[in-house]
Amino acid sequence: MDYYIPISRRLFEHHLWCEERIFSRFEAWLDILQSARFEDTKQLIGNRLIEVKRGQMLVSLRYLAARWQWSTKKVGSFLELLIQDGMIAKETPKETGQTVITICNYDKYNALTPKEETPRKQEGNTLETPWKQQGNKIKKDKKEKKVEESTAGAVDKKTAATAATLERKNTFYQSLVPYVGSYPKEMIRAFFNYWSEQNKSGTRMRYELEKTWELPKRLATWAARERMPAKPAAGMVLTDNSTEKYNTPEERKWEERWRQ
């Protein structure tokens, strides 16, 4: 870590970064680095799930042009420059029409923390160190704790079901990201809050109780009822420079996920 300056992702929520301006090429490169996924995920484009791996971002050139206040031609030329320098790879699948940018050597810019390293590497780092005995003690304590938990009984099924629902809720949230450029963000948030409402047991969400579900049609119907006409698509990466209030910590959690 000798050559690193740790920077929080919250830096990119700062008003100095968020002010409207024409980006320099360095700022554009930094924006790509901070916008790329830091973990494997999937994004819903139309009716197709697209896998986006760690170090990749799925965008349109029009979105980048609007975000950086460049022309689409300048964006294309800049990406070609990064490709020539071995900094990124780029492809545009015909089925989505979206540009997939892959950052080369992504881990050099976003190094894994010790918690994210493999158990084998962690063990190798601790061999023949003064802390080996302490590590063995921790392992022993964990083993004893597992025995106690096993003796006490099985894990609460309701808690496990609630955790699974929250995971599906996150997946549902991610599926709405590509539509942020087509509909107002406030509408997308209201749509999510309504359809992700959980039942009393916390095991199912409102949209999961529907007999039929096609996300594009549901959004179009919602927009018509709200009398909010769809806006021209401008991309799918959410940015929000406002300072909104949130009713619960969970709402802030979902808001922060939009910005990642």
Is residue 168 domain-shared with residue 241, that is, in the same domain?
yes
Question: Is 44 part of a structural domain of the chain?
Answer: yes
Is residue 194 domain-shared with residue 103, that is, in the same domain?
no
Domain end marker among 45, 79, 109: 109
Is residue 34 domain-shared with residue 98, that is, in the same domain?
yes
Is residue 175 domain-shared with residue 104, that is, in the same domain?
no
What CATH code is carried by the domain that includes residue 105? Answer: 1.10.10.10
Is residue 168 domain-shared with residue 101, that is, in the same domain?
no
Question: Is 114 part of a structural domain of the chain?
Answer: no
AA identity, residue 94: K
Q: Tell me the per-residue pLDDT of 16-70, one tens digit each, with 9 for 90 and over.
A: 988 899 999 999 999 999 888 888 888 877 777 888 889 999 888 899 999 999 9
Q: Write the CB contacts of 243 (distance below 8 Å, at least 6 apart in sequence).
A: none
Is residue 164 domain-shared with residue 81, that is, in the same domain?
no
Between 98 and 215, whose confidence is greater? 215
Distance CA 121, CA 238 (A): 36
Is residue 104 domain-shared with residue 166, that is, in the same domain?
no
Question: Is 143 part of a structural domain of the chain?
Answer: no
Is residue 165 domain-shared with residue 104, that is, in the same domain?
no
Backbone angles phi, psi at 23, to 5 degrees: -70, 145
Is residue 89 domain-shared with residue 173, that is, in the same domain?
no
Between 258 and 203, whose confidence is greater? 203
Distance CA 258, CA 238 (A): 6
> Percent helix, strand and coil across the chain, each rounded to 5?
55, 10, 35
Question: Is 176 part of a structural domain of the chain?
Answer: yes
Is residue 105 domain-shared with residue 162, that is, in the same domain?
no
Q: Are residues 254 and 173 in contact, defined by beta-carbon separation less than 8 angstroms?
A: yes
Nearest to 171 by CA among 38, 43, 37: 43
Question: Is 139 part of a structural domain of the chain?
Answer: no
Domain that holds residue 220: 157-259
Total residues belonging to the chain? 260
Nearest to 258 by CA among 167, 184, 176, 191: 176
Question: Is 231 part of a structural domain of the chain?
Answer: yes
Q: How far apart are the first and last CA of the chain?
A: 23
Q: Mean pLDDT lowest for which of 26-40, 58-72, 79-93, 117-131? A: 117-131
Domain end marker among 109, 137, 166: 109
Is residue 255 domain-shared with residue 161, that is, in the same domain?
yes
pLDDT at 50: 81
Is residue 245 domain-shared with residue 181, that is, in the same domain?
yes
With a pLDDT cut of 90, the percent of the chain lying above it is 33
Provide the number of structural domains found in the chain.
2
Token pair 């302490």 is found at 134
Question: Is 195 part of a structural domain of the chain?
Answer: yes
CA geometry: angle 57, 60, 61, nearest 5 deg: 115
Domain end marker among 53, 74, 109: 109
Order of strands across the sheet with 88-91?
56-59, 99-103, 88-91
- 133: tokens are 């005995």
Report the C-alpha dihedral over residues 11, 15, 18, 22, rounded to 10 degrees.
Answer: -120
Distance CA 259, CA 161 (A): 27
pLDDT at 194: 94
Q: Name the pTM for this structure.
A: 0.43
Segment of 167-171, 229-233, 240-244, 249-253 carrying the highest mean pLDDT: 167-171
Question: Is 39 part of a structural domain of the chain?
Answer: yes
